[in-house]
């Protein structure tokens, strides 16, 4: 089954617990942590994530767009995030960091910006549970899906097949009813959709619709 992780970035952030309840039929809530250093935007940090975990509504998929994840990411795993994704452009010792995140009980993802080549994460893949291909420049929701990322997703899927690695490929940015099929066909199996889900009248219906489009292509 394709996994749908709605991003709460463009939700009603004054009522995050209520917004999680709206999307609880999804597989996880994608929580974008931005520090105004790694990206030119600021969201929330560990205390907010801890509060959401305490509500026990659904698994939390933390996407850390922060400088120095080696220092800050393990606390998100210790807090109980289901998965913690850091960016390869920001990490100093990604294999050690992955080990620390696993030790704290989280699944681990490594993300790449649109301009970062796959070669930057190739050697890290055996240590990961998930690779995140950004299909927008990280920092903001509501941007257009960058179609030129499709070959990158396809190459990553081929690489995983060649190396017999069973890890998830997450795509993040501009995922909607109009773009999810291409991403799924290229090889992604975890889909982050922010404005598509929270902009819909019925979030649960949108989640079901996205799943239905992606499922026939599923690399599950
Ligand atoms: O990480 C990010 C942006 O940096 C994403 O998670 C976006 O927040 C997804 O939002 P949409 O592009 O689906 O509106
Ligand atoms: Co994200």
Q: By C-alpha distance, which of 189, 191, 197 is closest to 217? A: 189
Low-confidence ranges of the chain (pLDDT < 70): none
Element (DSSP H or E) covering residue 31 = strand 29-34
Ligand in nearest proximity to the CA of 191:
1
Q: Is the dihedral of CA 153, 109, 27, 66 positive or negative?
A: negative
| Atom nearest to 63 CA in ligand 1 | 1
Largest CA distance in the chain: 45
- Is 3.20.20.70 the CATH number for 3-217? yes
Catalytic residues: 32, 172
pLDDT score at 186? 98
pLDDT score at 220? 74
**Beta carbon of 193 within 6 Å of any ligand 1 atom:** yes
Q: What's the token pair of residue 74?
A: 């393990």
152 with 182: CB under 8 angstroms?
A: no
81 with 73: CB under 8 angstroms?
A: no
Ligand in nearest proximity to the CA of 173:
1
**Beta carbon of 94 within 6 Å of any ligand 1 atom:** no
139 annotated as belonging to a binding site for a ligand: yes
Q: Give the environment of ion ligand 2: residues with CB less than 5 A.
A: 32, 63, 172
Q: What's the token pair of residue 181?
A: 């099929």
Q: What ipTM, to 2 d.p.?
A: 0.98
165: Cβ–Cβ under 8 A, 6 or more apart, which residues? Answer: 125, 126, 159
Q: Where are the domains of the chain?
A: 3-217
Ligand 1 center–CA 193 separation, angstroms: 7
pLDDT score at 199? 97
pLDDT score at 183? 98
The predicted model scores a pTM of 0.98
Mutate to test the pocket of ligand 1, among 6, 85, 86, 172 (most ligand atoms within 8 A of CB): 172
Per 3-state DSSP, the chain is made up of helix, strand and coil in percentages (nearest 5) of 40, 20, 40
Structure confidence by residue, pLDDT tens digits, 64-86: 999 999 999 999 999 999 999 99
Q: How many Cβ atoms are within 10 Å of 48's Cβ, its own excluded?
A: 14
């Amino acid at each position: 089954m394709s996994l749908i992780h709605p991003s709460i970035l463009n939700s009603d952030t004054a009522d995050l617990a209520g917004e999680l309840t709206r999307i609880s039929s999804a597989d996880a809530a994608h929580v974008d942590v931005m520090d105004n250093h790694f990206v030119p935007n600021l969201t929330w940090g560990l205390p907010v994530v801890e509060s959401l975990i305490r509500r026990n509504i659904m698994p939390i998929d933390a996407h850390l767009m922060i400088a120095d994840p080696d220092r800050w990411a393990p606390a998100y795993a210790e807090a109980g995030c289901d998965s913690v994704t850091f960016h390869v452009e920001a990490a100093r010792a990604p294999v050690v960091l992955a080990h620390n995140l696993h030790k704290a009980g989280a699944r681990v993802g490594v993300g790449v910006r649109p301009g970062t080549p796959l070669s930057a994460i190739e050697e890290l893949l055996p240590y990961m549970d998930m690779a995140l291909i950004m299909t927008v420049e990280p920092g903001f929701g509501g941007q257009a899906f960058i179609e030129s990322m499709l070959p990158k997703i396809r190459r990553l899927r081929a690489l995983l097949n060649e190396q017999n690695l069973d890890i998830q490929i997450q795509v993040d940015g501009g995922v909607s009813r109009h773009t999810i099929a291409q991403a799924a066909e290229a090889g992604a199996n975890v889909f982050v959709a922010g404005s598509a889900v929270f902009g819909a009248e019925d979030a649960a219906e949108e989640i079901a619709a996205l799943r239905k489009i992606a499922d026939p292509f599923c690399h599950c």
